[in-house]
Amino acid sequence: MHTRSTPGFIVNRIARPYYAETLALLQEQAARPEALDLCMKAVGFRMGPCELMDLIGHDTNFAVTQSVYEANFYDKRYIPSLVQREMVDGGLLGRKSGQGFYTYPAGMPTWTPHPVEALNAAAQVVIHGSGPIADHLEKQLSERFNEKFKSTGGQSLKRDNSNGWVGLAIDDARLILSDGRTATEWATSIKTPDVAVFDRFSVAQIAGKAEQTPLAYANATGSSPKWRSQAPAWLSALGFQPVELADTPGLIVTRTLAMLINEAADAITQGVCSPDAADAAMKLGVNYPQGPFEWLEAWSVPEVVRVLDALDASYRGERYRVSPWLRRHQH
């Protein structure tokens, strides 16, 4: 495939957010490395970002990031991570030194899910939104719980496509698909304290799976203890293994995929490669489950832009600025 001679070419440039978003969350102490790796592997990546950085070597990965940063005239999108700089300075280089995010040869520790409480099946439930994820939520609840809701005095499941969000209204609580805003921001905007946001997931990846799929979620700061126990119970009932993160914008999968798409869109804007070449390079070069424009097709330009704008509003700076290509294609 053809690419213009630019810093990082296709793969090293577009792949930067795969590492950078995880490193940013680690710097914020939003989650442990194994939690972030678990969630990224759940959407089809062969290795999580922390596992992959340990394999590459933190000295090598940091040097590539530094090179791309300098070659792009210190564009803040490519700024290296203090977390990784400290690891390099401390000799924690990953597999080659026996210690990185994980200790080797053991590697990533086994994840032990937290126990969840019994589900309140008598709740009144409304499925909100449209699209594949909302359809999946309705299918899961219809297959597993519709008769149970009726038998325990609850109402049969309802669907409401009139609102601009995807998720579940469970009595007065809300379980909302991340659009880049935190659960606390959602709780403030809809004046409902009991809110949790959950991460994006791939319907295709979990179709037919018997085991639960890891999925990140976060509770609003002011949510009640009762809701804090019921939010993971509902996710578990939907077939997910709940992985709680701090209430950070975009969680892990949502913000990482949005940034990978954004970086690929900028590469197209600057004539580095075509969309097809970007998809092929990322799948063949680093074994991504899909290319950035394939993710975009399954998502939508307005939704990706909404996530990036929410991240930009939270962090302020150049890092999350929306690619001109996405701005032009959002309507």
Specify the pLDDT at position 228: 97
CATH number, residue 174 = 3.30.750.190
Specify the pLDDT at position 7: 44
Question: Average pLDDT of 166-171?
Answer: 97
Question: Is residue 137 domain-shared with residue 155, that is, in the same domain?
Answer: yes
Confidence of residue 148 (pLDDT cuts 50, 70, 90): low
Has residue 120 been placed in a domain?
no
pTM reported for the whole predicted model: 0.94
Confidence of residue 187 (pLDDT cuts 50, 70, 90): very high
pLDDT of 38-71, one tens digit each? 999 999 999 999 999 999 999 999 999 999 999 9
Domain boundary among 217, 244, 271: 244
Q: Average pLDDT, whole number, for the chain?
A: 92
Confidence of residue 154 (pLDDT cuts 50, 70, 90): low
With helix as H, strand as E and coil as C, how does 211-238 read?
Answer: CCEEEEEEECCCCCHHHHHHHHHHHHHC
Has residue 118 been placed in a domain?
no
Domain boundary among 244, 279, 303: 244
Question: Average pLDDT of 290-302?
Answer: 96
C-beta separation of 241 from 213 below 8 A: yes
Give the containing element (helix H, strand E) for 170.
strand 167-170
10 or 231: which leads in pLDDT: 231
Specify the pLDDT at position 121: 76
Specify the pLDDT at position 6: 52
Angle between helix 49-56 and 33-42 (nearest 10): 110
The domain total for the chain is: 2
Has residue 66 been placed in a domain?
yes
Question: Is residue 191 domain-shared with residue 101, that is, in the same domain?
Answer: no
Domain boundary among 224, 244, 264: 244
CATH number, residue 271 = 1.10.1040.50
Burial class (CB in 10 A: 0-12, 13-18, 19+), 280: middle
Question: Is residue 129 domain-shared with residue 230, that is, in the same domain?
Answer: yes
Question: Is residue 25 domain-shared with residue 95, that is, in the same domain?
Answer: yes
Question: Is residue 91 domain-shared with residue 21, that is, in the same domain?
Answer: yes
**What is the share, in percent, of the chain residues with pLDDT greater than 90?**
81
Confidence of residue 210 (pLDDT cuts 50, 70, 90): confident
Has residue 117 been placed in a domain?
no
Has residue 56 been placed in a domain?
yes
Question: Is residue 259 domain-shared with residue 314, that is, in the same domain?
Answer: yes
**Which structural domain, as residue segments, surrounds residue 186?**
125-244
